Chains A and B, each alone.
Chain A
Amino acid sequence: MKKRLLILEDGTVFYGYAFGSERASQGEVVFTTGMTGYQETLSDPSFYGQIVTFTYPLIGNYGINRDDFESITPAIRGMVCRELAKEPSNFRSDLSLNDYLVSQDIPGIEGIDTRKLTRIIRSKGAVKAMLTAADEEVNIDEIVATLQATPLITNHVKEVSPKAAYPSPGRGKRVVLMDFGMKHGILRELNKRDCDVLVVPYNTSAQQILAWHPDGIMLSNGPGDPADVTEGIETIRNLIGKVPIFGICLGHQLFALASGAKSFKLPFGHRGANHPVKDLRTGRTELTSQNHGYAVDESSLANTDLEVTHVALNDGTIEGLRHKKHPVFTVQYHPEASPGPEDSNHLFDEFIELMESHVKEGKQHA
């Protein structure tokens, strides 16, 4: 097995073994605590530009299958785990995780103390890192200097959003889905409810969207800092009040920003499948799937028309918002799950209901 290094910007070096692509790679290293669902995680565009560490030590156990992708091309920069399964076992497995990563040119490292790495990320926050072969000419000091000098990327959404609009037809509600780096799960849930979906790029204008006469707008998840997505914010600002809107993750943050609120970077993000979220209206808690490094700043809501509907039970950060006057609701977490618990899947039904009641109201007004 080839040796490989994971070098962090603080100078910490992990010595492990290589898998996947042979190339070197650089990115922000993050961790996710989900124990299942690596295929969905790897193909989640929200991880664009990141090297993903799995805290669960055994990854690849059930291989890669044709069904569980959340995008066509994985956006991660690299993968870190304690042990990669060489011989997967599951009836749906088509190929091993290693073979898949080789085919996608994504490098990985195994055999390192991932718990130690997790603890570093937990205490230091976002950490830039490089995956590189452990050959003799490797100059660690140089790499650390490069890492420290490299600014974090800001063009995430542009990279993962589609270049042109495309339909996913149905006979039900017409939904325009703004794709900021959408997980297929969102589209799957809308299709399941027979929506007539039109997926559009992140920079589509409000005017253009409204021209399709949508019953509702779906704001997808996506990677990076919401403040970087100025075009999306502008579009959303012009859609609020016109049609019902449902936002997820980055879509939730963009809606908040479009409404005048602000976002901030969390110390080490929420990534995993076990995050409790409290619904302030019912007092009940749901377990949610999460993947975000930023959150909406509660103090910035003061002069907006936004109302907090959900909070993270553990750190109290905002997990859901509602517009006080217009039919808009958004959540920071992933009701489409995949991977993770499906407790909040009903939010898609609520979106359908919201569109239905809006149509009724509209008719009455007419």
Chain B
Amino acid sequence: MPKRTDIETILVIGSGPIVIGQAAEFDYAGTQACLSLKEEGYRVILINSNPATIMTDTEIADKVYLEPISLEFVSRILRKERPDAILPTLGGQTGLNMAIELNDSGILDELGIEILGTKLDAIHKAEDRDLFRTLMYELGAPVPESDIITNLEQAKNFVAKIGYPVIVRPAFTLGGTGGGICSNDQELEEIVTSGLKYSPVTQCLLEKSIAGYKEIEYEVMRDSIDNAIVVCNMENFDPVGIHTGDSIVVAPSQTLSDREYQMLRNISLDIIRALKIEGGCNVQLALDPNSFNYYVIEVNPRVSRSSALASKATGYPIAKLAAKIAVGLTLDEIVNPVTGSTYADFEPALDYVVAKIPRWPFDKFESAKRNLGTQMKATGEVMALGRNFEEAILKAVRSLETGHTHIELKHAEENSDNWIEKRIRKAGDERLFFIGEALRRGVTIEKIHEWSEIDLWFLNKLQNIIKMEATLADNVNNAEILRQAKRMGFADKKIAELWNTNPEAVYAYRKEQNIIPVYKMVDTCAAEFESTTPYFYGTYEDENESIVTEKPSVIVLGSGPIRIGQGVEFDYATVHSVWAIQEAGYEAIIINSNPETVSTDFSISDKLYFEPLTIEDVMHIVDLEKPIGVVVQFGGQTAINLADKLAANGVKILGTSLEDIDRAENRDKFEQALRVLDVPQPAGETAVSTAEALEIGKKLGFPVLVRPSYVLGGRAMEIVYNEQELEHYMENAVEASPDHPVLVDRYLTGQEIEVDAICDGENVLIPGIMEHVERAGVHSGDSISVYPPQKLTDEQKATIVDYTTRLAKGLNIVGLMNIQYVLSKGDIFVIEVNPRSSRTVPFLSKITNIPMANIATKAILGQSIVEQGYPTGLAKEQKGVFVKVPVFSFAKLRRVDITLGPEMKSTGEVMGKDSTFEKALYKGFVAAGMEIKTHGTVLFTVSDKDKKEAIELAKRFNTVGYRIMATEGTAQSFKEAGVQADVVGKIGSKEKTLLEVIQNGQAQLVVNTLTKGKQPARDGFRIRRESVENGVPCLTSLDTAEAMLEVIESMTFTAEEMPKAEVVH
């Protein structure tokens, strides 16, 4: 059927900020969808609040609105733009929920706007547990025994009927927020209570647990004339019980016979047909490993994380085609973009194995519960392709960038057999590595199967890997064994370890023996048809299909999995760099391991290598492609970390040289450079022992900022206020040694300022200066950034421009750099210089209309900033105010302390823009999901050092009509300062405690600034967690509180009595 001509303008709803459960995959999907619709001639309007995305580039849609995805703002845009239709199925759960809200508000009917893709009743049928079960009964599809409950009593009744274990799934939440498996009354009470709170409709599904079943997923598509296909099926390594986003997943399924495969395929197609979805849909199924019994677990009536994975795993671009189907095109008339010669109406055939491993944030959140269950905790994922399972899984392991090159624990010998068993029985992020260790200790696969219920097929494959370790160790320098090991995906590093040599020697020996990888094409059809798709993976086979062209090429390293501290921003810069390289006339080659991203869409670059970002894997590609150089400054720390090893292998690092990168990152060299350049920095020294650190601390005066010198990005960074805390830090948080010194700096309280700059070696372009709302000490990624600066004087700005220029030139930067400053008592100090692309590049690029990654890339390739037609120095300030507000995923991570500090904790960000700071900030807060109420109750619990400031805030809250609640000490000091505060009991006290206040929803805002290391800290932690778990905004920085107060003040009128009239005679 031809595309629809009765619609012209389509509004696409994006997915908003990156949170756990909703990550970069929706930038990939949204970007594809917008481009796909534009390709068909529609006018596309996009709304998304996330500035760090490619989809919000003005080239992607005809009009881009970087506004909050809330009823208020989307309605405003609908009224203004009057689109004919909206497409919500590519914006994740956020998009779907928005569509429902818009419909319920009546605006769609009022304006005559149609919903494309999936109709609302289908969304309801798939998402509403009751309707879903009814539909499944109609289709004859089995669903686990379950009941919908709206209170704890009903939950208990259900359990009384069917017994434990049961699974709790809150309705209408993403990533399973608030859900879990309960095996006893206590867990039931806890999980059901939180589940009901998280469900916007206060509804949970209680379900008989089918833990231990195989978990199988089908990605299906359907068009308006009822053609329906399966794009990919996937099998979870972990059996049912762990959220699929937290499971290791392989594609295609490995342990299903054709009969099982077709049985589940049939029901998946029946479901998408029954729901009449026009587009993509994800069906999750549970299959009994001992019979043909199966259950339908869940249906996502939209493009999902799994569909992004399926797209990258097969090459079949689901989102792109879903958008075309939404406007009426049918699968049989859309050409398969991969082969270019066949049609989209087919089911991809793979001739490789795909493995996906989630990337969890537990390296950042060491206190978090590492157990995995029905609530997703991963921030990102990696994917790897191989010609067998062993190769795929080992490649995926080393793509994780968690320090693993193999399926082994870092300090394996420290684990007792009991502990290993425990960690295999109860799934956690490191289960794969514990299994590796168990096998090495001689535990049988049958035993491990008994513990974990992981299919013996997978365990057998892992056993093969462990056996190969022994074979290698017994056969040093045996070329045939080496070849077999490489075919199994072993890294040179692991082989070197087993051979008692170094990876370089293994690499050299392999080259000599001609054991080098070839690159196979991902073509959707297992080579049945000729394809020209430039999408490759490496493996050890005979025939190489990646043909090197005559054109000079540049390799860009991507940023690997999304993790806290390295988000979608770096993919944004990577993609822009690729485009700039192409514009400059070179072939752009990208290497990356993240299936969620735009950069791993094969249509972005001239060639895509889906490979781990390790020196070995990258060097293989360099050896083949012989590029003019490698660009490392856009892929975050992942790429930068490879720079020295690449250079050591004789690879040209394009842009800022390795020595200069080192000068910015090495503490001593950096200090030297600053002295020469005459740029001040806070006083500080390096310590190699606890005693030395205490000495320095005393000298500098507390508080001091401490961090290990060998880790960047704020990890293990802390502000300590006294000797005791410093000692605690030195003993527990770091292992100081002469090789790993600890930096102790004076902590300057003050205004933090951030600058991104581009340098071509001679000229410096500063697109803008950003000011942080939170004082120095809060990680820049967790601070609210404001552009243009609201508080800086012209003179201070001039100083910043001067310092930035000096640093850029002095450090010989070619490309991008990011600098953090602190303004303390009128003086400006430099805190940190990053000789690479930063988190703020997309934000600033969008605001200033200066395509920073593009200009920087061209500068790297030799085109000066001036030649490119851009001015130098500080760019002219834009009108309006723009704020970047961080977004956290604390609700998903139990036991994580939400206090903001030098270590980054946010997962994403949103932008708010408007004519004034307050309006922009209001939008920022709304977009970040914080409700701002003009009246209510604010609960204060602040530390002594903050009381003075808190009093001022309390006064102002009081003035706008907020009630103040505080614990006794705080309330007392408030009272003394003339602020009325209701006293609530501390934790453990007899009267009503503040925890109850939070639980009962009696506070709309919590301000908490307790310090750590002492007893009140434990209380503070509980208060903070209680707020998160009850969805009450909890601000841990008085600056954020003040900013929010400013917004509230701007929204309300004061309520002050008239001044008493003085009698004038």
Q: Which residues of A contact B (CB under 8 A)?
A: 14, 31, 33-37, 39-40, 55-58, 61-62, 65, 67-68, 82-83, 85-92, 112-116, 118-119, 122, 272-276, 278, 283-285, 287, 313-314, 337-343
Residue on B nearest A286 in the bound complex, by CB:
B227
User: Are A33 and B349 neighbours in the complex by a CB distance under 8 Å?
Assistant: yes
From the candidates A65, A122, A283, name the one contacting B530 in the complex (CB within 8 A): A122
A-B contacts, 5 listed (Cβ < 8 Å): A34-B258, A36-B252, A55-B526, A314-B343, A337-B262
- Across the interface, do B457 and A89 meet the contact criterion of CB distance under 8 Å? yes
Which chain A residues border B227 with CB–CB below 8 Å? 284-285
B498-542: which have CB < 8 Å to A?
A: 520, 525-530, 541-542
Residue of A nearest to B526 (CB): A55
- Taking CB atoms, residues of chain B closer than 8 Å to A35 are 252, 261, 349-350
B interface residues, how many (CB within 8 angstroms): 52
Residues of chain B contacted by A113 (CB below 8 angstroms): 541-543
Q: Tell me the smallest distance from the CB of B856 to a CB of chain A, in Å.
A: 39
CA distance A225 to B811 in the complex (A): 74
Q: How far is the CB of A288 from chain B (nearest CB, A)?
A: 10
**Contact present for A62 and B543 (CB under 8 Å):** no
Choose among A39, A62, A115, A275 the residue that contacts B351 (Cβ–Cβ < 8 A): A115
Quick check: is B229 within 8 A (CB to CB) of the other chain?
yes
A58 to B350, CA, bound (A): 11
Task: Judge whether B255 and A118 touch: CB under 8 Å.
Answer: no
A92 touches B527 (CB 8 A): no
Are B527 and A118 in contact (CB-based, < 8 A)? yes
**CA–CA, A337 and B263, complex, Å:** 12
Query: With a CB–CB cut-off of 8 A, which chain B residues contact A285?
Result: 227, 331-332, 345
Contacting residues, chain B, for A275 (C-beta < 8 A): 346
B265 interface contact, C-beta 8 A: yes
By Cβ-Cβ distance, the 4 closest A-B pairs, closest first, are: A37-B258, A89-B457, A55-B526, A116-B543
Interface residues of B (CB under 8 A from A): 225-227, 229-230, 252-259, 261-262, 265-266, 269, 289-291, 331-332, 341-343, 345-353, 387-389, 455-457, 460, 520, 525-530, 541-543
- Cα–Cα distance between A82 and B487 once the two chains are bound (Å): 11
Which residues in A have their C-beta under 8 angstroms from that of B351?
A: 33, 55-57, 114-115, 118
* Bound Cα distance A274, B352 (Å): 16
With A58-B254, A113-B543, A341-B347 given, can you name 20 additional A-B contacts, CB distance below 8 Å?
Answer: A14-B542, A31-B528, A35-B349, A35-B350, A36-B252, A36-B253, A36-B257, A37-B258, A56-B350, A56-B526, A57-B387, A68-B258, A82-B388, A83-B388, A92-B257, A112-B542, A113-B541, A122-B529, A278-B332, A283-B332
Find chain A residues with CB under 8 A from B256 CB: 36, 62, 90
Residues of A within 8 A of B352 (CB): 57
Contacts of B252 in A (CB 8 A): 35-36, 56
Closest B residue to A118 by CB, please name it.
Answer: B527
B261 touches A36 (CB 8 A): yes
Residues of B within 8 A of A272 (CB): 349, 526, 528
| Contact of A68 with B257 in the complex, beta carbons under 8 Å | yes
User: Which of chain A's residues has its CB closest to B339's CB?
Assistant: A314
Give the residue name and chain of the B residue nearest to A41 (CB).
B258
Contact A276 B332 (CB under 8 A): yes
Identity of the chain A residue whose Cβ is nearest the Cβ of B352 in the assembled complex = A57
**Smallest CB-CB separation from B484: which chain A residue?**
A111
Taken together as a complex, chains A and B put the C-alpha atoms of A285 and B227 apart, in Å, by: 6
Report which of A36, A55, A91 forms a contact with B528, defined as CB distance below 8 A: A55
Among B290, B345, B388, B527: residue with most chain A CB under 10 A: B527
Contact across chains for B528 and A115 when beta carbons are under 8 A apart: no
Mostly helix, strand, loop or mixed at chain B's interface?
Answer: loop
Bound complex: CA A352 to CA B543 (Å): 50
A36, A40, A113: most-surrounded residue (chain B CB, <10 A): A36
A62 touches B257 (CB 8 A): yes
Residues of B within 8 A of A339 (CB): 258, 262
Question: Which residues of chain B have C-beta atoms less than 8 A from A65's C-beta?
Answer: 257
Establish whether residues A33 and B525, one from each chain, have CB atoms under 8 Å apart when the complex forms: yes
Check B261–A55 contact: CB distance below 8 A.
no
Given the known inter-chain contacts A57-B388, A114-B351, please indicate yes or no for A119 contacting B527, CB distance below 8 A. yes
Given contacts A36-B256, A90-B255, A116-B543, contact A57 B353 (CB under 8 A): yes
Q: How far is the CA of A326 from the CA of B711 in the complex (A)?
A: 80
CA of A14 to CA of B230 in the docked complex: distance in angstroms?
34
Please, which residue of chain A has its CB at the minimum distance from the CB of B263?
A342
Residue numbers in A under 8 Å from B332 (CB-CB): 276, 278, 283, 285, 313
Q: Which residues of B contact A314 (CB under 8 A)?
A: 341-343, 346, 529
> In the assembly, what is the distance between CA of A275 and CA of B541, in Å?
28
Q: Kindly provide the distance from the CB of A266 to the nearest chain B CB, expressed in whole angstroms.
A: 12
| CB < 8 Å neighbour of B258 from A57, A114, A276, A340 | A340
| Residue numbers in B under 8 Å from A116 (CB-CB) | 541-543
Measured between beta carbons, the chain A residues less than 8 angstroms from B258 are 34, 36-37, 39-40, 68, 273, 338-340
- Give CA–CA (A33, B332) in the complex, Å: 20
Measured between alpha carbons, how far is A273 from B252 in the docked complex, in Å?
14
B257 near A90: Cβ-Cβ < 8 Å: yes
Name the CB-closest residue of A to B543: A116
Q: How far is the CB of A181 from chain B (nearest CB, A)?
A: 20
Q: In angstroms, how far is the closest chain B Cβ from the Cβ of A302?
A: 26
State the Cβ distance, B338 to closest chain A Cβ, in Å: 13
Looking at the assembled complex, report how far the CB atom of B385 sits from the nearest CB atom of chain A, in whole angstroms. Answer: 11
Alpha-carbon gap, A35 to B842, bound state (A)? 42
Question: Once bound together, how far apart are the Cα atoms of A119 and B349, in whole Å?
Answer: 15
A64 nearest CB neighbor, chain B only: B257
Residues of B within 8 A of A87 (CB): 456-457, 460
Nearest residue (CB) in B for A278 is: B332
| Chain A nearest CB, measured from B154 CB (Å) | 36
The answer to whether B346 touches A313, judged by C-beta atoms less than 8 angstroms apart, is yes
**B346, B457, B542: which contacts A276 (Cβ < 8 A)?**
B346
A342 to B266, CA, bound (A): 8
| Residues of the A chain whose Cβ atoms lie less than 8 Å from the Cβ of B289 | 91
Contact A55–B527 (Cβ < 8 Å): yes
Closest Cβ neighbor of A37 among chain B residues: B258
Bound: A105/B940 CA distance, A: 81
Docked Cα-Cα span, A90 to B253, in Å, equals 12
Q: Which chain B residues border A86 with CB–CB below 8 Å?
A: 460
- Are A61 and B266 in touch, CB under 8 angstroms? no
Question: In the complex, which residues of chain A have a beta carbon less than 8 angstroms from the beta carbon of B269?
Answer: 343
- For the complex, what is the distance from the CA of A37 to the CA of B252, rounded to whole Å? 13
In whole angstroms, what is the CA distance A153 to B331 when docked? Answer: 40
Closest A residue to B463 using CB positions: A87
One of B345, B353, B528 near A58 (C-beta < 8 A): B353
Q: How far is the CB of A338 from chain B (nearest CB, A)?
A: 7
| Contact A276:B345 (CB < 8 A) given known A61-B254, A119-B543 | yes
CB distance from A185 to the nearest CB of B (A): 11
Q: Tell me, in angstroms, the Cα distance from A81 to B766 when the chains sit together.
A: 58
Report B-chain residues with C-beta under 8 Å of the C-beta of A276: 332, 343, 345-346
B543 to chain A: closest CB distance in Å?
4
Residue contact B457 to A61, C-beta cutoff 8 Å: yes
Closest-by-CB residue of A relative to B252 is: A35
Most buried by B among A65, A88, A272, A284: A284
In the assembled complex, how far is the CB of residue B201 from the closest CB belonging to chain A, in whole angstroms?
37
Given contacts A115-B520, A313-B343, A314-B342, A89 and B349 within 8 Å (CB-CB): no
Q: Tell whether, in the assembled complex, residue A122 and residue B257 are in contact, meaning their CB atoms are under 8 Å apart.
A: no
Closest-CB distance, B910 to chain A (whole angstroms): 42
Known: A55-B527, A116-B541, A314-B343. A287 touches B229 (CB 8 A): yes
**Complex Cα gap A56–B229 (Å):** 19
Contacts of B345 in A (CB 8 A): 276, 285, 313
B351 to chain A, nearest CB (A): 5
Q: How far is the CA of A104 from the CA of B216 in the complex (A)?
A: 33
How many angstroms from the CA of A57 to the CA of B541 in the assembled complex?
A: 12
> Are B530 and A115 interface neighbours, CB within 8 A?
no
CB distance from B539 to the nearest CB of A (A): 9
Contacts of B229 in A (CB 8 A): 287
Closest B residue to A65 using CB positions:
B257
Chain A's closest residue to B389 (CB) is A58
Given the interface pairs A61-B255, A91-B290, the reply to whether A274 lies near B261 with Cβ below 8 Å is no
